[in-house]
């Protein structure tokens, strides 16, 4: 393991630098003194932020992009035949680099199938509010900091521990949080037993400082003396919640019962890290969420709010829909982009059941990511749409494979009083942004909370 004083001698080249995790690593290693370059196949909001920090990403993958003597950093999503990986003299998996960074401070790591980014983001926000100024590398941009990574001056670093490729096992956390455990990455784990073994090995490393949602299954994956958490019976409001935690009332400005549970986990971890509980709990009222987690993109011309959420598992889809319901729309229009053919094949019926809780359902084609359609014959978004129609009790369900068809349908279907919720881990936010006529920053200029659904105002085009 390298010490923390020689980063200025290192040159790191990130393949896929525009990803949420990779861009965060690029920002932190630059802050530590490394020379950082990188490339990605397309533009993204993360690339804009990297440019703002003096990192100029290249668009497209070519061997010539790799500087001499650079360590080439890659993720599991980047295949070995990528020309930049082939040109590398030295390669470094992103998990190994994250482990190097995490070892420079006391590590608080959040793992689990759902809620990692929000729980980790809440922990960052609460620790900052308690004056502990942590470093952090997480999988989404926090609204409170405008970044997905930072190098604070405090003793702690907060990271996400990714189970999708078992890379969490590279970390050795002092505090570990397990939010939940469901089989989600079917190309990595052939059974729930395999997933359980991975989580159990990871959580054992924290010993009595393991923090776990107080449910039998996740608790069975943790040491016997792990610290449980929960947020039973939260009071849900339009755009937030209130609940009791260790004798304190906690108020949140992000919607959904699931976020109350996330907050309880974050606060419990912060308590173990030495944060004053009252200051940490009070700070969470100022937490405004993370990018692509019930993020309000803006409004259509008719005043219909458009929200975007990263939900890509049936449990997450159900939680996002339930949270959106607390905003009290007259109709909830859910638009879903399945992510990965392997996940769609395994969970299409469960996705359909979760989507059936919306009033109108739109399903587009699968976002393939690292998979190929030809390897999964007969698998596509139509399976999810069919399940939603079967289980929806007569609700309107539309199967619209491409974004152009979906945009046309939504422009004809959305009406005043609706709320439109985009869901998926691919690029479904592009469709949401195409529908938006008034951006969130403009729509919220009057100081309204960015997640709050409001009564529609007359269209500026009418």
State residue 350's pLDDT score.
Answer: 94
105 is catalytic: no
Instruction: Say whether both 118 and 230 belong to one domain.
Output: yes
CATH code at 242? 3.40.1190.10
**Mean pLDDT of the residues in the chain:** 90
Q: Is the pLDDT of residue 3 over 70?
A: no
Sequence-ordered alpha helix ranges (H) in 112-191? 116-129
Q: Of the residues 160, 163, 174, 295, which is catalytic?
A: 160
What is 255-277 written as a DSSP string? -SHHHHHHHHHHHHHHHHTT--H
Instruction: Say whether both 115 and 247 belong to one domain.
Output: yes
Domain count, the chain: 3
Which of 245, 265, 286 is where one domain is finished? Answer: 286
**Candidate from 117-121, 124-128, 184-188, 438-442 with smallest mean pLDDT:** 438-442
Tokens of 373: 């359609």
Q: What is the mean pLDDT of residues 84-106?
A: 95
Instruction: Say whether both 230 and 132 belong to one domain.
Output: yes
pLDDT tens sequence across 9-22: 999 999 999 888 89
248 with 278: CB under 8 angstroms?
yes
User: Is residue 34 domain-resident?
Assistant: yes
Query: pTM of the full predicted structure?
Result: 0.82
User: Is residue 460 domain-resident?
Assistant: no
Q: Which residues contact 328 (CB under 8 A, 6 or more apart)?
A: 238, 453
Q: Which residues contact 341 (CB under 8 A, 6 or more apart)?
A: 366, 368, 371, 372, 373, 375, 376, 379, 380
> 290-300 as b/e, with b when 16 or more CB fall inside 10 Å?
bbbbbbbbbbb
Instruction: Say whether both 71 and 220 belong to one domain.
Output: no
Q: Is the pLDDT of residue 73 over 70?
A: yes
CATH code at 299? 3.90.190.20
Cβ-based neighbour number of residue 437 at 10 Å:
17
177 with 111: CB under 8 angstroms?
yes
User: Is residue 453 domain-resident?
Assistant: no
State residue 265's pLDDT score.
Answer: 98
Hey, which residues does 211 pair with through a beta bridge? Answer: 177, 227
State residue 384's pLDDT score.
Answer: 96
Instruction: Say whether both 109 and 82 belong to one domain.
Output: no
User: Is residue 150 domain-resident?
Assistant: yes
The band of 460, judged by pLDDT with boundaries at 50, 70 and 90, is very low
Instruction: Say whether both 302 and 274 belong to one domain.
Output: no
Q: What is the mean pLDDT of residues 203-210?
A: 97
Q: Give me the percent of the chain exceeding a pLDDT of 90.
A: 70
Instruction: Say whether both 268 and 307 belong to one domain.
Output: no
Q: Of the residues 29, 111, 113, 117, which is catalytic?
A: 117
The band of 441, judged by pLDDT with boundaries at 50, 70 and 90, is low
Q: Is the pLDDT of residue 163 over 60?
A: yes
CATH code at 39? 3.40.50.720
Q: What is the mean pLDDT of residues 101-125?
A: 95
Q: Of the residues 37, 84, 113, 116, which is catalytic?
A: 116
Tokens of 356: 């059936």
350 is catalytic: no
User: Is residue 123 domain-resident?
Assistant: yes
Q: Is the pLDDT of residue 457 over 70?
A: no
Instruction: Say whether both 127 and 267 belong to one domain.
Output: yes
State residue 453's pLDDT score.
Answer: 44
C-alpha atoms less than 13 angstroms from C-alpha of 428 in its C-beta half-sphere: 34
**Candidate from 268-272, 295-299, 327-331, 440-444 with smallest mean pLDDT:** 440-444
The band of 449, judged by pLDDT with boundaries at 50, 70 and 90, is very low
Which of 227, 257, 286 is where one domain is finished? Answer: 286
Look at the block and give the residue holding tokens 């109709």. Answer: 331
Instruction: Say whether both 131 and 274 belong to one domain.
Output: yes
pLDDT tens sequence across 299-334: 998 899 999 998 988 988 998 998 889 888 999 999
Integer Cα distance of 99 and 170 in angstroms:
6
Look at the block and give the residue holding tokens 């849900």. Answer: 236
Strand boundaries in 179-302, DSSP class E = 210-213, 227-229, 235-237, 240-245, 248-252, 295-299
Which of 239, 260, 286 is where one domain is finished? Answer: 286
The band of 256, judged by pLDDT with boundaries at 50, 70 and 90, is confident
What separation in angstroms does the CA of 4 have from each of 10, 17, 29, 173, 263? Answer: 11, 22, 11, 17, 32
Instruction: Say whether both 349 and 230 belong to one domain.
Output: no
Instruction: Say whether both 336 and 418 belong to one domain.
Output: yes
pLDDT tens sequence across 32-58: 999 999 999 888 778 888 998 899 999
116 is catalytic: yes
Q: What is the mean pLDDT of residues 412-433?
A: 93
User: Is residue 457 domain-resident?
Assistant: no
Integer Cα distance of 252 and 293 in angstroms:
14
State residue 459's pLDDT score.
Answer: 32
Q: What is the mean pLDDT of residues 81-107?
A: 95
Instruction: Say whether both 155 and 265 belong to one domain.
Output: yes
Q: What is the mean pLDDT of residues 142-165?
A: 91
User: Is residue 461 domain-resident?
Assistant: no
- Can you give the residue range of the structural domain that contains 372? 295-443
Would you say the C-alpha torsion 328, 362, 141, 108 has a positive or negative sign?
A: positive
């Amino acid at each position: 393991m390298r010490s923390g004083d020689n980063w200025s001698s290192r040159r790191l080249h990130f393949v896929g630098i525009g990803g949420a995790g990779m861009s965060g690593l690029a920002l932190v290693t630059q802050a530590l003194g490394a020379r950082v370059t990188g490339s990605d196949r397309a533009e993204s909001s993360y690339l804009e932020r990297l440019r703002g920090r003096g990192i100029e990403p290249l668009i497209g993958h070519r061997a010539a992009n790799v500087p001499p003597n650079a360590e080439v950093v890659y993720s599991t999503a980047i295949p070995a035949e990528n020309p930049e990986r082939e040109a590398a003299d030295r390669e470094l998996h992103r998990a190994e680099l994250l482990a190097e960074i995490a070892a420079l401070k006391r590590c608080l790591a959040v793992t689990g199938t759902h809620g990692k980014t929000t729980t980790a983001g809440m922990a960052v926000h609460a620790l900052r509010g308690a004056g502990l100024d942590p470093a952090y590398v997480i999988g989404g941009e926090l609204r409170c900091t405008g970044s997905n990574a930072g190098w604070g001056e405090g003793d702690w670093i907060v990271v996400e521990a990714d189970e999708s490729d078992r890379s969490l096992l590279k970390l050795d956390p002092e505090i570990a949080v397990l939010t939940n455990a469901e089989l989600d990455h079917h190309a990595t784990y052939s059974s729930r037993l395999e997933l359980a073994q991975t989580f159990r090995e990871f959580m054992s490393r924290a010993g009595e400082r393991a923090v776990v949602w107080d449910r039998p299954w996740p608790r069975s994956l943790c040491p016997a003396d792990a610290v449980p958490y929960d947020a039973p019976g939260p009071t849900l409001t339009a755009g937030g919640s209130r609940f009791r935690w260790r004798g304190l009332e906690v108020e949140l400005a992000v919607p959904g019962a699931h976020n109350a549970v996330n907050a309880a986990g974050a606060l419990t971890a912060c308590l173990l890290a030495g944060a004053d509980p009252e200051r940490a709990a009070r700070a969470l009222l100022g937490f405004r969420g993370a990018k692509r987690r019930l993020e309000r993109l803006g409004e259509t011309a008719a005043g219909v709010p458009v929200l975007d959420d990263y939900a890509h598992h049936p449990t997450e889809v159900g939680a996002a829909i339930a949270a959106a319901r607390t905003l009290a729309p007259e109709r909830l229009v859910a638009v879903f982009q399945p992510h990965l053919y392997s996940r769609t094949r395994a969970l299409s019926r469960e996705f359909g059941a979760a989507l059936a809780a919306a009033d109108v359902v739109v399903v587009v084609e699968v976002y393939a990511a690292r998979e190929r359609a030809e390897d999964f014959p007969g698998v596509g978004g139509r399976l999810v749409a069919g399940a939603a129609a079967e289980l929806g009790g007569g609700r309107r369900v539309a199967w619209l494979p491409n974004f152009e068809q979906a945009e046309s349908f939504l422009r004809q279907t959305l009406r005043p009083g609706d709320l439109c919720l985009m869901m998926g881990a691919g690029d479904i936010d592009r469709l949401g942004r195409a529908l938006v006529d008034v951006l969130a920053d403009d729509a919220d200029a009057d100081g309204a909370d960015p997640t709050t659904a409001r009564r529609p105002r007359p269209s500026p085009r009418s």
